[in-house]
Structure 1
Amino acid sequence: MKHQSRYKYRYSLLPFENGERIQEPRKHKTSWRFWEQRRLVVALLAFFGFFNVYALRVNLSVAVVAMTEPMEVALENGTIVYVPEFDWSYQTKGLVLSSFFYGYIITQLPGGWLAAKIGGNRMFAIGVGATSLLTLFTPPLAHTSTALLIAVRVMEGLFEGVTYPCIHAVWSRWAPSEERARLATFAFSGSYVGTVVAMPISSTLTHYTGWPGIFYVFGILGLVWTTIWWLVVKESPEKDPHITASELKYIQESRGALAVEGTQIRHPWKAMLTSGPVWAIVMAHFSENWGFYTLLTFLPTFMQDVFKFQTSQTGWLSAVPYLAMAVVLQVAGHMADWLLKMEILSRTNIRKLFNCGAFLAQTIFMVAAAYAPSVSGCVVCLTIAVGLGGFAWSGFSVNHLDIAPPHASVLMGLSNTIATLPGIISPPLAGSIVTDRTAEQWRIVFFISSAIYLLGAIIYGVFCSGNKQPWVVEVDSDASFDTDGASVTTARGYDNKAMDRSSEM
């Protein structure tokens, strides 16, 4: 099947006995025609979905700098004074920035559970679409009261919380075993490209349209994407009318035939919650997000405090580390799948190497960034630290699909629930530490992130596994799928021999 995946079959009708016709495949290479390979179309649209997810999330990180900057105001007596539009303390600013995550943390597990039951494609669209719509209401609500701004950010978090669990439900149906890392990391890299694009564009929009323009532009873009995803992406390859028979067969034989409708998936909660490999993923996800959310939320403010950069400059400089992350994610995903295909390392060792190696490097460079004497040195260290996190995502972020494919959306919901805590804890904590806006206080924030990276590397290195776990519940089903004259039938809803074989490499 590995060789077959490089070809697309076209069929001509030939006479067959008893007057019936059969399909005869003709091979020809079409790898450059990605739109004819539907799993690549799903990956591309998922990429832009996560682009919107993070653009909608980080817009406030840049906007809040402009919202709290002193502005020239002429009083009635002609006196010119400089006052901020929103006179918030650091604690209030931290609450506004972290409010998104109070909603985000609530819907992780419910989103994963619903995605496993009814499919992730529709819920992914609803999550991004509703967040985009609420983003359009952010400026008028912010002008009304700070409480309403916090409330709408919490609601945005509620809807966006389903996105990561839902995409694992999509990949459990669409991703062949030997392409998991590259497809998943390509989609996830949209998050970092969204960050790269959103930060400088937000700075530019602030300059030319004022900070409300940030929310209007990205809200409309999110609604446009939602419409396209809703019309194009189906719950599974079996339901896509445009997929070729050869691609459908390739996905099924590599992934295993899944019961995609009328199935009651039973999740072994006790076994999952007491599983070492599950908690290894959870800790790795928590560690990566702690450093990421700290920088995502406060990097523009850090640049302004320590290096005296203006709003228009902070957006561009803050985007550089995430550009590195987006590039590294592509390399890491292909490298992980190549090592697996070539049988150079076992799946477990690949996950450990990529995840723990990245965390150890991030520990070192976060400390180095804290002591960087210049803005260029600091940006270089942070770019390396954040960029190397791309290798970690080829470890923990696809590990759910390795150990328990039928339960991957729920496991992603669990790990992302715990991994959302940094978004709630880190901004207020940083705000309470950085009271005088000094470089010494910011160093404490960086030291905390480094320590958490190190702890995550140790725990993941000890407990990680890349093999399907014995507690995975297989789904009873009589589902059969016909593909180009061949029938892929299973007495159990999940029968992934391809994954089991590669897991033992």
Structure 2
Amino acid sequence: MDHPSPPRKAPTLCSLRTGLALLLHFCNVALLSQRVCLSLTMVAMVNRSEPRGAPNASLAAPLDNVKNPVYNWSPQTQGIILSAIMYGMPLIHIPMGYLAGICPVKKVVGSALLLSSLLSLCTPLAAEAGESLVIACRFFQGLSQGTVQVAQHMVWIKWAPPLERNRLTSVSLSGTLLGPSVALLVTGFVSQSLGWPMVFYIFGAGGCALSLLWFVLFYDDPEEHPCISLHEKDLLRSSLAEQVSSGGKSVPVTAMLTSLPVWAISLSGFAFSWTNTIAFLYMPTFISSKLHIEMRENGLLSALPHLLSWVLSILAGHAADFFLARKILRLVTIRKLFTTLGLLPPALLAVSVLHPSVSPLSSVVGLTLASATAGFCMAGLMINPLDIAPRYYGFLKGVTVLIAMVGGLISSTLTGIMLNQDPDSWFKIFLLMAAINVTSILFYLIFAKADVQDWAKEWQGTRL
């Protein structure tokens, strides 16, 4: 069957919008590296052989104490420290979702990235002062990272033609998947050779450099960018001519919160965040405690699924645009397909790896695939809010990300508590994760939509 050819567009690989997607990609790599590196440095930061004494007592040998100080934190304290960043992120999502349509994205993203990077530089000093200061540091880092997480989506309202949204979004957001891989790869080597504090210094300095690049290279409006070509400017102007924003109008909160497609996105995001938080924060602990693997190899194995997930997320974005441009699949089918591919395999594989007959090698392969397939969600639920409500995209993204981050917050804290009570409670942890994923997939398949909803087509009278 013949299909009409897609609209003429500037070469994607040579376009400024692709360059901005890559810049945003590396900003996300920096942020996630800063967030995730603590899950592996925690193995080096915490004493696991001496009886627990004073909470912040340093128990390392005198010669190692300078470059590798060790603290006597209980598993429950470690869980609170690891999840502290998740406490800060949800608080900023809805306010930032509303303000992202008003405040310049350039200033919001650049400032928040800079703040997160400075807090990363301060983390080793905070650890010396006590776990309370580390928790505070991570909390405010969560506020800054949550700001970037929501505000960055507003970039594509003006910079992404409709037939390129999947690939540009997947390129930029895939940095959130590559970041943990980079963090885990670098952390194992740096911790052993230079000491774990250097991990925070390296990722903090890298983030500061990227924030400066962002301020120099990014412009909120393509019309104002000094380096954009006339061809690309015309393409963006024509392809986005009919797209509207909320423009300061009141948000239809009631209609939004009673919309089943919104809840389909939110609950699947809840499951995605629940699953990925466990993978990001606790996979090094699982590999260390269950498979008894040293830190350097631990870092390599923990990084592998995130690296594969990064590849799959980029491929998913390109595949989604291909299916859409060739009219092979409807947009709603594309969203449901990639969301299912992102959430169902982790549910099945995570439980299967704990079967008594499964070898350590099979466990590693299973966990790698379980974490990696989450990358498919980048072409599914992650971009779905822009389909159903482009006018209120910033606010809606804030709402859905907030609900999703609650999943990450609960899973990180609950996992820490369960491991504190029983170090062998991994089966319960993975079984609960599988139940949440399957339930959310069923809800998404039934209620998800990909067309603009009635409440998002015209200004509604509901006020905040």
In the superposition, the TM-score normalised over structure 2's length comes to 0.90
Say whether residues 1:426 and 2:411 are aligned partners: yes
Distance 1:347 1:265 in 2: 28
Say whether residues 1:57 and 2:35 are aligned partners: yes
Q: Deviations over 1:157-176 (max 9, x none)?
A: 11111112111111111111
CA contact (8 A) 2:28 2:175 kept: yes
Q: Deviations over 1:88-137 (max 9, x none)?
A: 11111101111111111111111111111123232111111110011111
CA contact (8 A) 1:264 1:475 kept: no
Q: 2:280 aligns with which of 296, 316, 321?
A: 296
Distance 1:125 1:2 in 2: 35
Q: 2:176 aligns with which of 179, 183, 191?
A: 191
Distance 2:200 2:78 in 1: 18
Amino acid at match of 1:353: L
Q: 2:255 aligns with which of 256, 266, 271?
A: 271
Structure 1 residues 135 and 369, CA gap change in structure 2 (3 angstroms) = same
Stretches of structure 1 that go unaligned for 5 or more consecutive residues are 8-30, 76-82, 477-505
Partner of 2:358: 373
Amino acid at match of 1:183: L
Partner of 1:443: 427
- How is 1:58-457 mapped onto 2 (pairs within 5 angstroms)? 58-70=36-48, 73=61, 85-257=70-242, 263-371=247-355, 373-435=358-420, 438-439=423-424, 441-457=425-441
CA contact (8 A) 1:128 1:163 kept: yes
After the TM superposition, which of the residue ranges 115-124 and 102-111 deviates more from structure 2? Answer: 115-124
SS, match of residue 322 in structure 2: helix
CA contact (8 A) 2:174 2:378 kept: no
- Looking at CA atoms only, which structure, 1 or 2, has the larger radius of gyration? 1
Percent identity of the aligned residues? 32
Deviation at 1:419, TM superposition (A): 1.1
Q: Report runs of 4+ in structure 1 exceeding 4 Å deviation.
A: 257-260, 436-439, 473-476
SS, match of residue 242 in structure 1: coil
- The number of residue pairs the alignment matches comes to 441
Deviation at 1:74, TM superposition (A): 6.4
CA contact (8 A) 2:341 2:374 kept: no
Distance 1:149 1:123 in 2: 24
Q: Deviations over 1:337-383 (max 9, x none)?
A: 11111111211111111112332222211212232733321121112
After the TM superposition, which of the residue ranges 42-51 and 83-92 deviates more from structure 2? Answer: 83-92
Amino acid at match of 1:113: Y
Amino acid at match of 1:86: Y
CA contact (8 A) 1:112 1:169 kept: no
Deviation at 1:249, TM superposition (A): 2.1
CA contact (8 A) 2:10 2:231 kept: no
CA contact (8 A) 2:10 2:235 kept: no
Distance 2:216 2:98 in 1: 23
Q: Select the structure that is richer in strand.
A: 1
CA contact (8 A) 1:68 1:85 kept: yes
Deviation at 1:256, TM superposition (A): 2.9
Distance 1:161 1:211 in 2: 25
Partner of 1:43: 21
After the TM superposition, which of the residue ranges 249-258 and 166-175 deviates more from structure 2? Answer: 249-258
Q: Deviations over 1:10-31 (max 9, x none)?
A: xxxxxxxxxxxxxxxxxxxxx5
Structure 1 residues 392 and 63, CA gap change in structure 2 (3 angstroms) = same
SS, match of residue 434 in structure 1: helix
Amino acid at match of 2:310: A
After the TM superposition, which of the residue ranges 143-152 and 385-394 deviates more from structure 2? Answer: 385-394
Deviation at 1:258, TM superposition (A): 5.4
Q: Deviations over 1:174-204 (max 9, x none)?
A: 1111111111011111111111111120111
Deviation at 1:72, TM superposition (A): 5.1
